[in-house]
């Protein structure tokens, strides 16, 4: 999903605050719980944006969702942030903020997230190999998400951030077609 | 020797183990918006400005706007199949085109792909479309002439190799004709030509190709075609592609002539792209860098010094004006960028003075240094004389009685105007131009009826070729008039005038008047 600059600014500010208090994990858990809920129930957005509804009730609703991820006393720490987002009318951006928060966190930890598509389910051994190869390539610790995509025919492709490492048969066929097309 | 099945498999297995597969790493992005020949792409973090990017189905684009959230790309072809969410790949190549000798004789797209059905493009060489123009150190002042074969230009507004001369005029005044004649005139020279058609009708481009083919000019000419039906992005890169093709010749010590027909449409294509990319509009809604758009293109025309191989790239940009308004935005920009302009006037065109070059408004700022000595000798004062003639002519409309001197200027001017008329597609070798202009400026046609001059001139050239072939030969070799040669030519022309058919000459009473005028001098 595309993350615009505004979303990124909110997420960065929140991350910097969380990093200062060393509670990235807790904040991320809450944020992602809210993002999940918003994705699952789009009508929640209408509710949260409703002009006649009091801010306190909106906040308590958001905190209630956040609490599903964490014990109550920890959840209240994100209250000021949620209040700010509500007042600025940026509730819509919360799902993106959750992703941008994770990006900022990953960058801070030196972790890159790789999305792997392969024609068949890779074995644990293969996954470990891939992980090793990618971390050498990217010069960072790699966290893998894998997915089976039979369309690739054979091999695998890995997407790391904005970079694509294509070693699939489909990719090779496509580059073959590119080479042939001009003639 | 026979292999057992086991051995075969073993070999294969061994080969398989050693087989290295190549893995490509590319930047990726996602289309977030597409339309009007523009795509906005999310991602592509490492994309370079001006990099080629690939959309699904092999559609190429160029990344022009690198913004905080997205990348604005222009699309080089039909984009109907591209949807929001589609993947975009970087190619690692800055936008480039094919170059090399193989392109000459061909009609190509700005990316160097053939359009003429003459088979694939054999060249492997590519060059980036946008490069910095050669600097001061690499250049040499323009000093060699580039003959257009058009009397009015080679004598009055000479063009040198490495010069940028603007051809400007209303529609249907013969702008393209001048360009085509110039290409045809390079037939027996070492100049290679590139004709860039921007935003023209496909039929017009086809016609140009046919004319060049007919005159044997296609062998050393490359036509870069960005027709009106092509996307604005293709029209935008076309002149840069043409320039790149010419630059390859120039950098290898050759001589190239590039014609941009025309830059008015190029400016409009760029305006479209800029507005759609939401760059701020300025005057007439052109973007702020419209001046630089053309100046960086035309700065690449150059005459290189000997260390750099002494190649040259001459540029003839064409600009179309509306109702003769050469003070409009784009025309004034180009007039200030180029080293002079050839201004074509519709009034002259309709009066039958073709090429319809306005002597007063046309200028070549490189001028005399790009002229052969013989041409300077015969045409030195021609421009001033003709300009003053045009002024007198305008006033003479109101006068009934003119003094002898004025009448003489008018008569001479009428004849010189006739001398400078020239049919299309018949460029004239410069030594012949010199002879005809010599005859005109030395008053040999003063007794010939103005309307007969074109015919008489042809006869003169035939007569000289038959009886005095050495004159033309000497001019061609020495490129200048010695006193002896001047005398020889004068004598030959006098002899020719004496044997001229009476029907070409003025009526006796008019002749007498003319004599009186001469004796009055």
Using the 3D structure, point to which of A70, A92, A107 is the last residue of a domain.
Answer: A107
Question: Domain containing B43 — which CATH number?
Answer: 2.40.30.20
CA distance B346 to chain A (A): 44
Q: Which residues of chain B lie closer than 8 angstroms to A164, CB-CB? A: 25-28, 89
CB atoms within 10 A of CB B339: 21
For B223, the enclosing helix (H) or strand (E) is strand B221-227
Q: A93 and A35 in contact (C-beta within 8 Å)?
A: no
- Domain count of the fold of chain A: 2
Give domain status of residue B16, yes or no: no
Determine, for residues B45 and A161 on separate chains, whether the beta-carbon distance falls below 8 Å. Answer: yes
Whose CA is closest to B366, among B182, B143, B152, B134? B143
Residues A68 and A121 in one domain: no
Classified as helix, coil or strand, B200 is: strand
Are B28 and A183 an interchain contact pair (Cβ–Cβ within 8 Å)? no
Asked if B382 and B433 touch (Cβ cutoff 8 Å), the reply is: no
Residues B23, A181: C-beta atoms closer than 8 Å: no
Decide which of B371, B390, B421 is a domain's last residue. B371
Do A149 and A78 share a structural domain? no
CA distance B195 to B125: 20
> Do A18 and A33 belong to one domain?
yes
Q: Out of A161, A162, A166, whose CB is closest to B24?
A: A166
* DSSP codes of every residue in B418-449: HHH---TT----HHHHHHHHHHHHTTTTTTB-
Which of A106, A156, A126 minimizes the C-alpha distance to B24?
A156
Domain containing B473 — which CATH number?
Answer: 1.20.150.20
Please give the structure tokens belonging to residue A45.
């957005």
Judgement on whether residues B205 and B282 belong to the same structural domain of the protein: yes
Q: How many domains does chain B have?
A: 3
CA–CA gap between residue B320 and residue B143 (Å, rounded): 29
Q: How far is CA B457 from CA A126, B178, B182, B500, in A?
A: 88, 21, 21, 11
Is B197 within the bounds of a domain? yes
| CB proximity A107 to B under 8 Å | no
Instruction: Name which residue leads in pLDDT, B398 or A134.
Output: A134
B181 and B244: one domain?
yes
| Residue A109 in contact with partner chain B when CB distance is under 8 A | no
Helix (H, G, I), strand (E, B) or coil at A166: strand
Q: Are residues B180 and B72 in the same domain?
A: no
Residues B148 and B61 in one domain: no
B356, B371, B386: which is the final residue of a domain?
A: B371
Q: Walk along chain B (521 residues) and give the pLDDT tens digit of each residue.
A: 566 655 666 666 666 666 566 667 888 999 999 999 999 999 898 899 999 999 998 899 999 999 988 999 999 999 999 999 999 999 999 999 999 999 999 999 999 999 999 988 888 899 999 999 999 999 999 999 999 999 999 999 999 999 999 999 999 999 999 999 999 999 999 999 999 999 999 999 999 999 999 999 999 999 999 999 999 999 999 999 999 999 999 999 999 999 999 999 999 999 999 999 999 999 999 999 999 999 999 999 999 999 999 999 999 999 999 999 999 999 999 999 999 999 999 999 999 999 999 998 999 998 678 899 999 999 988 888 898 898 888 888 777 788 888 888 899 999 999 999 999 999 999 999 999 999 999 999 998 999 999 999 999 999 999 999 999 999 999 998 999 999 999 999 999 999 988 888 887 665 556 566 666 55
Q: Does residue B243 contact residue B258 with C-beta atoms inside 8 Å?
A: yes
CATH code, domain carrying A162: 3.40.30
- B216 located within any domain: yes
Which of B30, B69, B120 has the CB atom closest to A4's CB atom? B69
Residue A124: exposed, middle, or buried by beta-carbon count in 10 A (0-12, 13-18, 19+)? exposed
Q: Whole-angstrom Cα distance, residue A62 to residue A31?
A: 10
Note down the domain range covering B283. 98-371
CA of B339: how far to CAs of A1, B92, B164, B191, in Å?
A: 52, 37, 5, 20
CA angle B322, B325, B329 (to 5 degrees): 95
Q: Which residues contact B398 (CB under 8 A, 6 or more apart)?
A: none
Which residues, 6 or more positions from A22, have their beta carbon under 8 angstroms from its beta carbon?
A: none
Give the burial class of B377: count Cβ atoms within 10 A of its Cβ; 0-12 exposed, 13-18 middle, 19 or more buried: middle
- DSSP secondary structure code for residue B280 in this structure: P
Alpha helices in B61-188 (DSSP H): 151-156, 175-185
Which residue is it, tokens 């294969």?
B12
CATH classification of the domain holding B108: 3.40.50.300
Q: Same domain, yes or no, for B283 and B319?
A: yes
If one compares A119 and B330, the residue with the highest pLDDT of the two is B330
Strand partners, B90: B53
Task: State whether A162 and B70 contact (CB < 8 Å).
Answer: no
Residue B4: inside a domain: no
Count of Cβ atoms closer than 10 Å to residue B371 Cβ: 22
Which of A107, A139, A162 is the C-terminal boundary of a domain?
A107
DSSP strands (E only) in B294-406: 302-303, 312-320, 340-344, 363-364
CB contact under 8 A, B27 and A177: no
Active site residue B164: no
What is the rounded distance in angstroms from the CA atom of residue B518 to the CA atom of residue B513? 9
Give the pair of three-digit tokens for residue A159: 């997407």
B213, B241, B250: which is closest to B109 by C-alpha? B241
Find residue B312's DSSP bridge partners.
B255, B303
Cβ proximity of B366 and B163 under 8 Å: yes
Residues B86 and B118 placed together within one structural domain of the fold: no
Q: What is the pLDDT of residue A176?
A: 80
Q: B72 and B104 share a domain?
A: no
Last residue of a domain, which of A59, A80, A107? A107
Handedness of CA B41, B45, B49, B53 (dihedral sign): negative
For chain A, give me the number of helices (H) and strands (E)? 9, 4
pLDDT at B130: 93
Query: Based on the domain organization, do B358 and B400 belong to the same domain?
Result: no
Tokens coding A128: 């470990």
CATH code of the domain in which A55 resides: 1.10.520.20
**Catalytic hit among B106, B365, B393, B432:** B365
Residues A94 and A31 in one domain: yes
> Residue B418 burial by CB count (10 A; 0-12/13-18/19+): exposed, middle or buried?
buried
The answer to whether position B5 is within a domain reads no
pLDDT of residue A183: 46
Q: Which two tokens stand for residue B296?
A: 């960086």
Say if B412 falls within a structural domain: yes
Same domain, B245 and B343: yes
* Chosen from B21, B25, B33, B77 to mutate, greatest number of chain A CBs within 10 A: B25
- Tell me, yes or no, if A162 comes closer than 8 A to chain B by beta carbon: yes
Separation CA B1–CA B506 (nearest Å):
101
Sign of CA dihedral A44, A49, A50, A54: positive
Q: Does one domain contain both A48 and A80?
A: yes
Distance of residue B268 Cα from the nearest chain A Cα, in angstroms: 29
Collapsing DSSP to helix, strand or coil, A170 comes out as helix
Which residues of B are less than 8 Å from A177 in CB distance? 58
Domain that holds residue A171: 110-180
Q: Cα-Cα-Cα-Cα dihedral of A134, A136, A142, A148, to 10°? A: 10
Partner-chain contact B43 A159, CB within 8 Å = no
Chains A, B: CB contacts under 8 A, how many?
Answer: 48
Q: Which residues from chain A sit within 8 angstroms of residue B29, using beta carbons? A: 162
Q: Is B297 within the bounds of a domain?
A: yes
d(CA B209, CA B115) in angstroms, rounded, equals 12
Angle at A174 between CA A170 and CA A180, to 5 degrees: 145
Average pLDDT of chain A to the nearest whole number: 85
Residues B298 and B200 both lie in one domain: yes
In this structure, the answer to whether residues B383 and B453 fall within a common structural domain is yes
In DSSP terms, B193 is beta-bridged to B221, B257
Looking at the structure, do residues A102 and A114 belong to the same domain, yes or no?
no
Within a domain: B76: yes
Residue of A nearest to B54 (CA): A178
Instruction: Report the C-alpha gap between A65 and A25 in whole angstroms.
Output: 16
Q: What is the pLDDT of residue B336?
A: 96
Q: Which residue has the tokens 């190869």?
A: A133
Inter-chain CB proximity B24 and A165 less than 8 Å: yes
Per DSSP, B398 falls in state T
When CB atoms are compared, the residue of A4, A162, A167 closest to B43 is A162
pLDDT at position B327: 93
- B243 CA: distance to closest CA in chain A (Å): 22
Last residue of a domain, one of B43, B76, B93: B93
Of the candidates B196, B190, B203, B189, the one whose C-alpha atom is nearest the C-alpha of residue B430 is: B189
Same domain, B168 and B134: yes
CA–CA distance, B115 with B9 (Å, rounded to integer)? 48
Q: What is the mean pLDDT of residues A87-106?
A: 88
- Does the beta carbon of A166 lie under 8 angstroms from any beta carbon of chain B? yes
């Amino acid at each position: 999903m595309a993350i615009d600059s505004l979303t990124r600014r909110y997420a960065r500010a929140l991350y910097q605050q969380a990093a200062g208090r060393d509670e990235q994990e807790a904040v991320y858990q809450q944020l992602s719980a809210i993002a999940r809920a918003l994705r699952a129930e789009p009508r929640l957005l209408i509710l949260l944006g409703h002009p006649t509804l009091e801010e306190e009730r909106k906040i308590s609703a958001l905190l209630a969702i956040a609490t599903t991820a964490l014990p109550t006393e920890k959840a209240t720490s994100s209250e000021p942030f949620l209040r700010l987002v509500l007042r600025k009318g940026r509730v819509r951006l919360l799902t993106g903020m959750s992703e941008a928060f994770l990006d900022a966190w990953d960058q801070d930890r030196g972790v890159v997230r790789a999305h792997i598509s392969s024609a068949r389910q890779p074995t644990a051994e293969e996954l470990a190999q891939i992980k090793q190869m990618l971390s050498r390539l990217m010069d960072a610790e790699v966290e893998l998400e894998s997915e089976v995509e039979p369309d690739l025919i054979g091999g695998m492709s890995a997407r790391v951030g904005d970079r694509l490492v294509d070693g699939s048969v489909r990719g090779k066929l496509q580059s073959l077609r590119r080479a042939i097309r001009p003639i | 020797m026979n292999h057992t099945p086991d051995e075969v498999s073993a070999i294969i297995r061994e080969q398989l183990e050693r087989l290295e597969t190549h893995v490509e790493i590319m930047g990726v992005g996602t289309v977030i918006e597409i339309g009007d020949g523009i795509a906005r792409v999310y991602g592509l973090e490492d994309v370079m400005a001006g990099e080629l990017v690939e959309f699904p189905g092999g559609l190429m684009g160029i990344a022009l706007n690198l913004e905080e959230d997205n990348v604005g790309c222009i699309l080089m072809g039909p984009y109907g199949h591209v949807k929001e969410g589609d993947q975009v790949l970087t190619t690692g190549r800055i936008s480039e085109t094919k170059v090399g000798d193989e392109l000459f004789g061909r009609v190509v797209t700005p990316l160097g792909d053939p359009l003429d059905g003459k088979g694939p493009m054999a060249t492997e060489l590519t060059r980036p479309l946008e490069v910095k123009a050669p600097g001061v150190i690499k250049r040499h002042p323009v000093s060699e002439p580039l003959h257009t074969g058009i009397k009015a230009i080679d004598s009055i507004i000479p063009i040198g190799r490495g010069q940028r001369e603007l051809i400007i005029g209303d529609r249907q005044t013969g702008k393209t004709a001048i360009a085509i004649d110039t290409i045809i005139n390079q037939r027996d020279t070492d100049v290679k030509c590139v004709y860039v058609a921007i935003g023209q009708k496909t039929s017009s481009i086809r016609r140009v190709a046919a004319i060049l083919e007919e005159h044997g000019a296609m062998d050393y000419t490359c036509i870069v075609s960005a027709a009106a039906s092509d996307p604005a992005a293709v029209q935008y890169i076309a002149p840069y592609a043409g320039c790149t093709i010419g630059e390859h010749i120039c950098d290898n010590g050759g001589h190239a002539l590039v014609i941009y027909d025309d830059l008015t449409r190029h400016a409009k294509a760029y305006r479209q792209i800029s507005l759609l990319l939401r760059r701020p509009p300025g005057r007439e809604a052109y973007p702020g860098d419209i001046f630089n758009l053309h100046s960086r293109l035309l700065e690449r025309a150059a005459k290189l010094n000997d260390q750099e191989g002494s190649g040259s790239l001459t540029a003839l940009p064409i600009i179309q004006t509306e109702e003769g308004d050469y003070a409009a935005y784009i025309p004034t920009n180009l007039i200030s960028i180029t080293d002079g302009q050839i201004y074509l006037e519709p009034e002259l065109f309709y009066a039958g003075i073709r090429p319809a070059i306005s002597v007063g408004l046309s200028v070549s700022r490189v001028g005399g240094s790009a002229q052969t000595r013989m041409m300077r000798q015969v045409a030195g004062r021609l421009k001033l004389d003709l300009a003053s003639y045009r002024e007198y002519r305008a006033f003479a409309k109101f006068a009934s009685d003119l003094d002898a001197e004025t009448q003489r200027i008018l008569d001479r001017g009428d004849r010189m105007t006739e001398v400078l008329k020239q049919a299309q597609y018949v460029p004239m070798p410069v030594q012949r131009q010199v002879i005809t202009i010599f005859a005109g400026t030395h008053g040999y046609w003063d007794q010939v009826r103005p309307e007969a001059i074109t015919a008489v001139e042809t006869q003169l050239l035939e007569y000289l070729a038959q009886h005095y072939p050495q004159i033309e030969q000497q001019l061609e070799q020495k490129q200048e008039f010695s006193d002896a040669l001047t005398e020889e030519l004068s004598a030959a022309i006098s002899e020719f005038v004496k044997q001229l058919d009476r029907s070409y000459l003025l009526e006796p009473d008019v002749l007498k008047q003319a004599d009186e005028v001469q004796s009055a001098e």
